[in-house]
Amino acid sequence: MPSKRSICIALALGAGLAVSASAKEPARDNYRTYCTQCHGKDGNGKGINVRDMSVQPRDHTDAKAMSGRSDDTIFKVIKEGGQSIDKSVLMPPWGDTFSDEEIRDLVAYLRQLCKCTYGASP
């Protein structure tokens, strides 16, 4: 028969785990962890994985190319992968890695990297 105190501790631990596992990470940290492997540590599309790729990853600092994609399209390609917008299978779906909120933050972060908005490059 567990004591009230041990139940209380167990609940607190459980709640702590649940929160930490789903806590929102800053877009910059998510980008560093998941995106730079292909898009490069400087966001220029030249990550450590690109050498043998048949389709090169998007250069996120390319304002012209990035301004050609709407925020909704960028959201979709991050969540569902390249094939969801008829692009490369090499861009995987990240829907099991990021929450929708984290993806929205990433879209905003990409707009900082390209210094651009949809339909208007500087």
| Alpha helices for the chain (secondary structure H) | 4-22, 27-30, 36-39, 63-66, 71-80, 100-114
Among 6, 10, 13, 29, the residue binding another protein under the rule CB under 8 A is 29
**Contact flag: residue 42 with another protein (CB under 8 A):** yes
Site map (CB under 8 A) of another protein, residues 77-106, x = contact = ----x------xxxxxxxxxx---------
Mapping DSSP to helix (H, G, I), strand (E, B) and coil, where does residue 20 land? helix
Least distance from another protein to the Cβ atom of residue 115, Å: 20
Q: Please name the residue that has the structure tokens 């569902």.
A: 80
Which residues lie near another protein (CB under 8 A)? 17, 20-21, 23, 25, 29-30, 32-34, 36-38, 40-42, 46-53, 81, 88-97
